[in-house]
């Protein structure tokens, strides 16, 4: 379905400052990484602020002239904007620059297209690409006449591009139906796993943090690990044996990226769904990257978005071989391992992580007595969702008295968020309170 990546495009990158200076620098660096990841050769960069913008061009005419000069001087054949452009802006800029123009959404879609390995991943990428293309087709987009190949043009091939809007709509509907089928199959497999009951652990983290390397190191599996963004696109699973003898399923996921356009988040629902269904998350952080604190925040925000922020989590600070420190483990107030410093590359600290997984997964659950007022229905729903409710009685004030079992990490988080509860040490304590 997809054209293979073509020989490197000579690309000029354009970044227009819209926010704070520090954020801007991170954004520029990420644009470089993404462009290289897509196979482009960067031959020039234009930065600047957005003074006197022309709404039809996104930037001002002075900037356009500056970019045009650089394109000619460097004989560039592609200009990549680190922004979302409207179809009209993209078309006008192409005319003004006499060169192909790609925006951030198009660039990320292109990378996704070249990294999709499974049937489902490919369907998802094609769907996202066609939907992106459809908005452009409607307004007389000129991509249709173009030669195939090159960054931003791989994906739907020439024949697709020649389809009119109606046919495009049909193709989108067919893809959605196929995806539904694939998803139903996956949901079935997941339910079977839940019945089995196999514990699942998901690796999450910012792109390039080292998830695939750690996944390989842990499972000795051959998952593509390349120094490229999004080397992993599809959920990849392997069985992993822990020192206690417990078997878990380890899932590798696609890396998170700053400002991921929301239509792409939808396209990667499959990966994210796996994450939301996991028993434990391992958040892999590139500790050698000076921006790792900001990256951790980004990952946390995405986890909140997909409702995975209440799953117990071990944070792995990876790449300690690049830093001047040895492997280590940090425990939380309940004595459970919370942070592990290691190197997926050298294997230093891997036994500590395996031990930590065992401790977290095997940790005894905490029994609690909780009294909720009528206004605390939200807590009741969360306790049902994340714990095992052993007993629940309405009280005279319209609230509830509950006995609940939670894993220690969730209990720690709920306590921090203000849940008041009495810890029951022995089983008899709440059984006697029932009578």
List of residues contacting ligand GTP (CB under 6 A): 205, 207-213, 225-227, 229-232, 255, 318-319, 321-322, 343-345
Helix (H) / strand (E) element for 42: namely strand 41-49
The minimum distance between CB 287 and ligand GTP, in angstroms, equals 9
Alpha helices in 38-164 (DSSP H): 61-74, 87-97, 104-115, 119-138, 158-161
Of 115 and 359, which has the nearer Cβ to ligand GTP?
115
Which CB atom, from 150 or from 205, has the smaller least distance to ligand GTP? 205
Q: Give the number of other Cβ atoms within 10 Å of residue 433's Cβ.
A: 13
Minimum CB distance to ligand GTP smaller for 31 or for 231:
231
3-state secondary structure (DSSP) of residue 278: coil
- Least distance (Å) between residue 343 CB and ligand GTP: 4
Q: DSSP for 209-262?
A: SSHHHHHHHHH-------SSTTS--S-EEEEEE-TTS-EEEEEE-PPB-TT--H
Closest CA relative to residue 114, chosen from 226, 189, 10, 220: 226
The closest residue (CB) to ligand GTP is 255
Report DSSP letters for 379-401, one per residue.
Answer: HHHHHHHHSEEEEEEE-TTS-EE
Give Cβ neighbours of residue 385 (< 8 Å, ≥ 6 apart).
none
Taking the least distance from each CB to ligand GTP, the nearer of 318 and 410 is 318
The CB-of-350 to ligand GTP minimum distance in angstroms stands at 10
The CB-side HSE value for 427 (13 A sphere, CA atoms) comes to 2
- Smallest separation, CB 342 to ligand GTP (Å): 7
Q: Which is nearer to ligand GTP, 71 or 280 (CB)?
A: 280
Residues with Cβ within 8 Å of residue 434, at least 6 apart in sequence: 391
Structure tokens at 192: 């079977």
CB of 345 to ligand GTP, least distance (A): 3
Q: Which is nearer to ligand GTP, 210 or 412 (CB)?
A: 210
For residue 79, the minimal CB distance to ligand GTP (Å) is: 25
DSSP-derived 3-state class of residue 284 = strand
Task: For residue 211, give every residue at least 6 positions away whose Cβ sits within 8 Å of its Cβ, in sequence order, or none.
Answer: 203, 204, 205, 232, 252, 253, 255, 284
The number of C-alpha atoms within 13 Å of 354 and in the hemisphere containing its C-beta is: 19
92 vs 253 by CB, closer to ligand GTP? 253
Alpha-carbon span 214 to 222, nearest angstrom: 11
Residue 35 or 232: which CB sits closer to ligand GTP? 232
Question: Shortest distance, CB of residue 202 to ligand GTP, whole angstroms?
Answer: 13
What is the full DSSP assignment across 361-381?
A: HHPPPEEEEEEE-GGGHHHHH
Closest separation between CB of residue 327 and ligand GTP, Å? 11
Q: Minimum Å distance from CB 353 to ligand GTP?
A: 12
Distance, in Å, from the CA atom of 143 to the CA atom of 162, rounded to the nearest integer, reads: 9
230 vs 411 by CB, closer to ligand GTP:
230
Which is closer to ligand GTP, CB of 42 or CB of 285? 285
CB of 253 to ligand GTP, least distance (A): 8
Residue 37 near residue 230, CB atoms below 8 Å = yes
In the complex, least distance from residue 234 CB atom to ligand GTP, rounded to whole angstroms: 11
Torsion angles phi and psi, residue 123, rounded to 5: -60, -45
Instruction: Give whichever of 144 and 352 is closer to ligand GTP, judged by the CB atom.
Output: 352
């Amino acid at each position: 379905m997809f054209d293979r990546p073509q020989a490197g495009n000579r690309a000029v990158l354009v970044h227009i400052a819209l926010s704070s200076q520090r954020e801007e620098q991170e954004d520029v660096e990420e644009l470089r990484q993404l462009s290289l990841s897509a196979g482009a050769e960067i031959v020039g960069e234009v930065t600047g602020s957005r003074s006197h913008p022309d709404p039809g061009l996104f930037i001002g005419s002075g900037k356009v002239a500056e970019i045009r000069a650089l394109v000619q001087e460097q004989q560039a054949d592609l200009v990549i904007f680190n922004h979302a452009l409207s179809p009209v802006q993209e078309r006008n800029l192409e005319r003004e620059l006499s060169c192909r123009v790609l925006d951030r959404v198009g660039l990320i879609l292109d990378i996704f297209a070249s990294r999709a390995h499974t049937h489902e991943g490919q369907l998802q990428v094609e769907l996202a690409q066609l939907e992106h293309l459809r908005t452009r087709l409607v307004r007389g987009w000129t991509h249709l006449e173009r030669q195939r190949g090159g960054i931003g043009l791989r994906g739907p091939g020439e024949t697709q591009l020649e389809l009119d809007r109606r046919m495009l709509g049909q193709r989108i509907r067919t893809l959605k139906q196929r995806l539904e089928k694939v998803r139903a199959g996956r949901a079935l497999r997941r339910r079977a796993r839940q019945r089995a009951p196999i514990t699942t652990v998901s690796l999450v983290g910012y792109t390039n943090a080292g998830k695939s390397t750690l996944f390989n190191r842990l499972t000795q599996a051959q998952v593509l690990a390349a120094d490229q963004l999004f080397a992993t696109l599809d959920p990849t699973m392997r069985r992993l044996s822990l020192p206690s003898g417990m078997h878990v399923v380890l899932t590798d996921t696609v890396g998170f990226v700053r400002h991921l356009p929301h239509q792409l988040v939808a396209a990667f629902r499959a990966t994210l769904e796996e994450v939301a269904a996991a028993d434990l998350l391992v958040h892999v952080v590139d500790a050698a990257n000076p921006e790792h604190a900001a990256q951790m925040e980004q990952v946390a925000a995405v986890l909140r978005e997909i409702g995975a922020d209440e799953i117990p989590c071990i944070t792995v600070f990876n790449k300690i071989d690049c830093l001047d420190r040895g492997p280590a483990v940090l425990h939380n107030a309940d004595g459970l391992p919370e942070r592990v410093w290691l190197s997926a590359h050298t294997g230093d600290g891997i036994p500590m992580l395996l031990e930590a997984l065992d401790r977290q997964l095997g940790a005894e659950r905490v029994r609690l007595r909780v009294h909720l007022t009528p206004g605390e229905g939200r807590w009741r729903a969360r306790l049902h969702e994340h714990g095992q409710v052993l007993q629940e009685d309405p009280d005279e004030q319209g609230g509830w008295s509950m006995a609940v079992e939670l894993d220690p990490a969730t209990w720690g988080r709920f306590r921090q968020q203000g849940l008041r509860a009495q810890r029951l040490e022995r089983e008899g304590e709440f059984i006697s309170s029932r009578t």
